[in-house]
Chain A
Amino acid sequence: MVELLTVLLNVKDFFEDPSFLIGIPFVALGALGVLIALTPVELRWPQPAPAQPEYEILDHVEGDHPDAREYIKIGVVLAVITAVEVAVYYLDIADGALLAILLTLSAAKFVLVVLWFMHLKFDNRLLSIAFGSGMALVTALLIVVLSTLGAGLV
């Protein structure tokens, strides 16, 4: 216990050892979580109007969903992007450029499906925040792990 206290109170060593620094963002995140948990401010969750049917709660908050014709148009765009991806794979392009092109095309497909087919573009912003948080965490995880442990994509 005394040793633990000594380590915790020895701020100088803490900041001189780079391996400790990586913990700072996590400590900050944890502190933020505790603050949010203890805050007396009430979070504003979407409140459905009493007369609304259940289906309307998540839908039509920001606007109407597209119609079938629009979905088919997006489906055609997705098919074309996939065809371009496969075509690019067979072209003789430098590795770095190939990586950039494929990641861009893949991200475009991802965004189209999430915004239009999953209706995130039209639904309550709170849902975007929920999914966006997961995406931000996983992106940070992949960047940190792949860059520090040397999994070169190129």
Chain B
Amino acid sequence: MWLFLASETLFFGGLIGTYLLYRDASVAPPCATDCTFDGVTYQGLYDIPFTSVSAFVLLMSSVTMVLALAAIQRNDRRGLQIWLAATALLGITFLAGQAFEFTEFYHEGLALNTNLFGTTFFVLTGFHGAHVSVGVLILLALWIMARRGRITNENALNVELAGLYWHFVDIVWIVIFTLVYLIQ
């Protein structure tokens, strides 16, 4: 799992690097922050308060995930179910926020092929969203297994591995939130 995560850092590193490289290279609006083309000023698309809440939600999902692992390690199956469900719900909330953000940006005129900002932004955050979606599916599968009593502290390694993947998705967003949204 750790080798897989190491390879994933390179994958996201490439996407983040590409975004930063082409951040101010768009020759057409809209932009991430306020920009001017042909004497016309366009308002930036980023909504920092909204994204901050999304980042907070994903961060807290890491806390609930690790609490799920702590629960099954002391053979608390009820606790495992509750914390797994909470983590999946927080993940779904994050995805809903991302879907809302993407829709808003699209209505403001930004598509995948509008400009370099659109391409690099949607590819980076889209791939992250895809990873979160896979994580939510894994969590839901674990939750169903836990409800059926198929997870005990004997095979808690399954929860630990899912947790590693989930925390990785969270740390990628920690980096994206800072490098893409806050540093402009």
Contact = CB atoms under 8 A, between A and B. Distances in A.
A151 B17 CA distance: 9
Nearest to A85: B182
Contacts of A74: 63
A138 B52 contact: no
Contact of B13 (A54, A99, A130, A138): A138
Nearest to A105: B178
A14 interface: no
B54 to A, nearest CB: 11
A5 to B, nearest CB: 34
A32 interface: no
Interface string A20-56: 0000000000000000000000000000000001110
B133 to A, nearest CB: 20
Interface in B90-138: none
B65 interface: yes
Contact of A58 (B23, B153, B154, B157): B157
Given A113-B171, A141-B13, A153-B20, A86 B156 contact: no
A134 B7 contact: yes
B5 A131 contact: yes
Contact of B21 (A53, A71, A145): A145
A56 to B, nearest CB: 9
Contacts of B40: none
Contacts of A99: 183
A136 B59 CA distance: 24
A116 B155 CA distance: 21
Interface in A74-90: 74-75, 78-79, 82, 85-86, 89
B17 A134 contact: no
B28 interface: no
B175 interface: yes
Contact of B183 (A68, A98, A114, A141): A98
B131 to A, nearest CB: 15
Contact of A141 (B17, B59, B63, B69): B17
A106 B49 CA distance: 17
A118 B157 contact: no
Contacts of A78: 59, 62-63
A106 B178 contact: yes
Contacts of B144: none
Interface of A: 53-55, 57-59, 65, 67-68, 71-72, 74-75, 78-79, 82, 85-86, 89, 98-99, 102-103, 105-106, 109-110, 113-114, 116-119, 127, 130-131, 133-135, 137-139, 141-142, 145-146, 149, 151, 153
Given A82-B52, A109-B171, 9 more contacts: A54-B154, A65-B70, A67-B70, A75-B59, A79-B59, A118-B164, A118-B167, A130-B2, A146-B20
15 contacts: A53-B154, A58-B160, A71-B63, A74-B63, A75-B62, A79-B60, A86-B182, A99-B183, A110-B175, A117-B167, A133-B6, A137-B9, A138-B9, A141-B13, A142-B13
